Structure 1
Amino acid sequence: MNYLVEKVSEYMQQNHMVEEGQKIVVGVSGGADSMGLLFVLSELAEYFHLSLAVVHVNHGLRGKAADGDQSYVEQVCREQKIPCYSFHVDLKRFAKKEGMSEEEAGRYYRYQCFEKVRREISAQRIAVAHQREDVCETVLFNLFRGTGLRGLSGIPPVRDVIIRPLLCAGRQEIEAYLQERGIGWRTDETNLTDLYARNRIRHAILPYAREYINAAAGQHIQETAGLLKDIADYLDRQGEAAFDLCAEVGRQASVTIHHETFLTFDIVIQREVIRRAISVAAGQLKDVDREHIEMIRALMDKYVGRRCHLPGQLQAVRTYDGIIIKKENASAETVKEAFCMDVRAPGKFVIPGPGMEIELSLREDYENEEIPINRYTKWFDYDRIKNGLTVRTRENGDFITLDGQGHRKLLKRWMIDEKIPREQRESMLLLADGNHILWIMGYRISDNYKVTDATKRVLVVRIKGEKSDGGQYQNIVDRGRSRYPDSRTG
């Protein structure tokens, strides 16, 4: 096995890039890096039992030269008997329409094409041809224009379905491999000019650093990027845990940060919480910089009602509880439409909106009787209820008991772990005893309230109404039931 092929094989296995039998979409421009990626993966295809498909994107910027790139890639794919999907776009027009630079628009369009083909052919991975020098260029580019830790972490080997098998190799290694194999490649003349900032880093700054500062400058940049990635990953985990404790997502993707808990965290974690809150409210972090993060931190010391404006048509407003980040046109009244109704046994209660009726009853003569396996009826140990019952939507601090050992989980964390869509979380109905959730309707009940041999009185809760006979609510319950099947203990 060739040295580069063996090196890439080990790198792919270390980073768990593929599994046997998977399909991979390979982005191929025709340049040296992408041709190297295609042929290295072709050699490894038999070893990993992979199926390859190529995607080529003609950006329409270089006329006949770009058409020649497309023809070359298609010809190579025919010879290698690899399916090839070619796309053509007027990138200048597309960039103008989307309000992006040509470089940004080109990347966006390429990945759209990769994903389109991946879905069409049911592939599991998309392989792109970034290599070691690309990491150095990305780190320096982000450093010069201003960035945080994540921007200095380079390019990850795996992100979602995207894999980058050549990050372990340098440009010279790739070209040497192609020459050894007698494989040609196309040269994009624009890469030889200094029209783009990345080209200036590639042609001037990195060579200068290697010649006059340290010959291993590129390697050291990549190693440092790896260390910073580990730190960024750690802060991500800490920021997520802190966000779960002090932030609450409401209607219209607004986020409330509760100041009492927020202020207990170190300033580094506070910034992570704010960054995550903006990302949730806006759906992205584009154009958000350190200044915006610090503006929101400063709001914690301001009077109620003070606000600041953020990118993405967001605003942050000081409230009695802390800070709410929301869309400029979202009123405080419509941000979260909570529902709460006190219920008791015995009794019947109509839930407005869903067209449901909740019926509660008590039983003492249940010995030796099997708990019915019924998607609309649940049994609970009535004597474990301490604060009275409500049917409501979620509130800050809600939790559920997961097992007989009493392990608890915040309801917000549970919803995230179960991948409940964000837009559904605020409308899900709960049966609650204070902040302790007995039943996430349609999903699961709390172990703390399950019926056991020691139970004296059973609370029977039944959902009735036309929608529980085959409409929207039945669909919700069916999804929950498939994850949490009924059992003897409820």
Structure 2
Amino acid sequence: MFPPKDTTTTMIIDFSDKYNMLPKGGIVLCAVSGGKDSMCLLEKLRELAPVYGFELCCAHFDHRLRGEESDRDRVFVENYCRERVIPCYVGSADVSAYANDNGLGIEEAARKLRYAFLEKTADEIGALRIATAHTADDNAETLILNLMRGSGLKGLCGIPPVRGKIIRPLLQTTGEEILSYLEEKSIPHVEDSSNGKDEYTRNRLRHRVVPELRTLNSGFDDNLIRCLELLRGDEEYLSSLAQDFVHKHYTDGSLPILEFSVLPKPISARVLQLIVPCGLSEKHIDAVRSLASGEEKHAYADIPGLRVARDYERLVFGAQELGAIEKRELKPDTVTVLPEAGLEITCEFIKNCKEIHNSFNIFFFKNDSIYGKMFVKSRSEGEKVRLVGRNCTKTLKKLFSEAKLNGEGKTLIPVIYDEEGVIAVCGFGIAERCKPENGDDIIKITLKDINKK
């Protein structure tokens, strides 16, 4: 049985139970700055700990940003917990130095270091949950900030009630309700002087924008809470469709193009965000979607952290940048090694050659048909050749596509040139203009696999 409780406590219990925040046993680590929100959370959890059966611990992080005021906050929290026999863990870091060293803003640096401390402490003491004191007011500010940034649905859902171990039981509790509770219970707290300054965008929203919205609509807080619940429900549904798709179709680091390309953008975007969880922009998402819907069977798009390559009817995530054969000159009576392709090329001059036997890896060129120097490399875009026996001119791109070569297969095929253009393609044959006759002086090119010597 729950003990008699005020309206705020009832709301916190209902909200916590909806998202399974409070465990039946184990340890809950409460992040406490000493401010009004975190002191309310600490007392609410202290009230609920015996009801749910969990042990309550406290964690305080000193950002070293406010000198003596930071020391005051730490001492306040330590003393408050000591008097109530609440285990208290304290950490600190030079946020300013970390921000400078890593090119971050103060707010972002503080958040990274604070959460790193909370996660580390939770792991060390075996805490099942980390409770933070984000409120409905914080959620309103977050929604407006994300709206200003042009965020999608996920950003407009505001602060998530649960993220891994992290829980936010006060997310539907307003600042006014918190102050009323603290006054009623005579619970002390400290004030962070930086919260009164309008140097930060969030503070300006808190002091100017949100109060004006409440003036325009007295039901702003309740309406916002309801709006966020509706948006979160939509987001959870769309995300579940994306998760089902990934579970069914994402295998060996790739997706089938046919199934992916017909997904509505809201689903395909979430599929990509699940596979590449590093903050894809709309530009990156559109690049991968275009890759899937385009006619090019071998192409790629570089997105944060990896390359996505199309290989016929699959999208391959984490594809390596393909190697290519460097340009090397071919001279008679020399052997040229192509380590990228695992091949070696022998080049010979034969005068008045009586026997000509072209194959896919042995080429005989009429010496007089060669213009200038000969060299070998990977193909370049737009190159064409009229091969012996083909009776037509084709681009190398089309030639390789018809042979259904994948990306690596195309880039590592040796193409032989003179100063007029392509004269042979390994595995396909020689250019018609270089075809010799018996008795001609010829250049013979032989390609061998160096691994089979």
Normalising by the residue count of structure 1, what TM-score does the alignment of the two structures yield?
Answer: 0.62
- Equivalent residues, number: 319
Secondary structure of the residue aligned to 2:33 is coil
Q: For 1:262, which of 255, 260, 263 is the aligned residue?
A: 260
8 A contact 2:172–2:225 mirrored in 1 = no
Q: Distance in 2 between matches of 1:194 and 1:113?
A: 27
Residue identity matched to 2:110: G
Q: Distance in 2 between matches of 1:109 and 1:74?
A: 20
Aligned match of 1:303: 296
Encode CA deviations 1:314-336: one digit per residue, 9 max, x unaligned: 23333212432326x55599xxx
8 A contact 1:25–1:123 mirrored in 2 = yes
Aligned match of 1:191: 195
Deviation at 1:33, TM superposition (A): 0.1
Q: For 1:136, which of 140, 145, 153 is the aligned residue?
A: 140
Asked whether 1:11 is paired with 2:4, we answer no
Q: Distance in 2 between matches of 1:7 and 1:226?
A: 14
Q: Distance in 2 between matches of 1:96 and 1:142?
A: 25
Q: Distance in 2 between matches of 1:59 and 1:209?
A: 32
Residue identity matched to 1:309: D
Deviation at 1:158, TM superposition (A): 2.2
Q: Distance in 2 between matches of 1:278 and 1:65?
A: 42
8 A contact 2:174–2:221 mirrored in 1 = no
8 A contact 1:59–1:88 mirrored in 2 = yes
Secondary structure of the residue aligned to 2:258 is helix
Deviation at 1:258, TM superposition (A): 1.9
Secondary structure of the residue aligned to 1:24 is strand
Secondary structure of the residue aligned to 1:166 is coil
8 A contact 2:297–2:313 mirrored in 1 = no
Q: Distance in 2 between matches of 1:307 and 1:79?
A: 62
Residue identity matched to 1:160: G
Pair 1:262–1:332, CA change in 2 (3 A): farther
8 A contact 1:206–1:218 mirrored in 2 = no
Aligned match of 2:118: 114
Q: Distance in 2 between matches of 1:204 and 1:235?
A: 34
8 A contact 2:23–2:128 mirrored in 1 = no
Q: Aligned ranges for residues 279-318 of structure 1 at < 5 Å?
A: 279=277, 284-285=278-279, 288-300=280-292, 301-312=294-305, 314-318=306-310
Aligned match of 1:472: none
> Which of 1 and 2 has greater Rg?
2
8 A contact 1:304–1:319 mirrored in 2 = yes
156-165 or 263-272, larger mean C-alpha shift: 263-272
Q: Aligned ranges for residues 201-220 of structure 1 at < 5 Å?
A: 201-212=205-216, 214-220=217-223
Q: For 1:236, which of 219, 222, 239 is the aligned residue?
A: 239
Q: Distance in 2 between matches of 1:49 and 1:98?
A: 42
Pair 1:259–1:20, CA change in 2 (3 A): closer
Deviation at 1:2, TM superposition (A): 4.6
Q: Distance in 2 between matches of 1:245 and 1:332?
A: 32
Residue identity matched to 2:187: I
Residue identity matched to 1:64: E
Asked whether 1:43 is paired with 2:36, we answer no
- Structure 2: where are the runs of 5+ without partners? 325-453
Q: Pairwise CA RMSD of aligned residues? A: 2.1
Encode CA deviations 1:239-282: one digit per residue, 9 max, x unaligned: 122223443343xxxxx232122233233322222222322xxx
Aligned match of 1:91: 95
Deviation at 1:306, TM superposition (A): 3.2
Q: Distance in 2 between matches of 1:25 and 1:216?
A: 33
53-62 or 104-113, larger mean C-alpha shift: 104-113
Aligned match of 2:386: none
Pair 1:147–1:249, CA change in 2 (3 A): farther
Q: Distance in 1 between matches of 2:263 and 2:222?
A: 36
Asked whether 1:69 is paired with 2:73, we answer yes
Q: Distance in 2 between matches of 1:131 and 1:194?
A: 20
Q: Distance in 2 between matches of 1:33 and 1:322?
A: 50
Secondary structure of the residue aligned to 2:70 is helix
Aligned match of 1:407: none
Q: For 1:275, which of 260, 273, 276 is the aligned residue?
A: 273
Deviation at 1:302, TM superposition (A): 4.6
Deviation at 1:90, TM superposition (A): 0.3
Q: Aligned ranges for residues 308-387 of structure 1 at < 5 Å?
A: 308-312=301-305, 314-326=306-318, 331=322
Asked whether 1:224 is paired with 2:217, we answer no
- Structure 1: where are the runs of 5+ without partners? 251-255, 334-490
Aligned match of 1:157: 161
Encode CA deviations 1:168-217: one digit per residue, 9 max, x unaligned: 311111111111121211111111112112112211111122213x2222
Secondary structure of the residue aligned to 2:170 is helix
Residue identity matched to 1:304: K
Residue identity matched to 1:268: P
Q: Distance in 2 between matches of 1:125 and 1:316?
A: 36
Residue identity matched to 1:161: K
Encode CA deviations 1:390-414: one digit per residue, 9 max, x unaligned: xxxxxxxxxxxxxxxxxxxxxxxxx
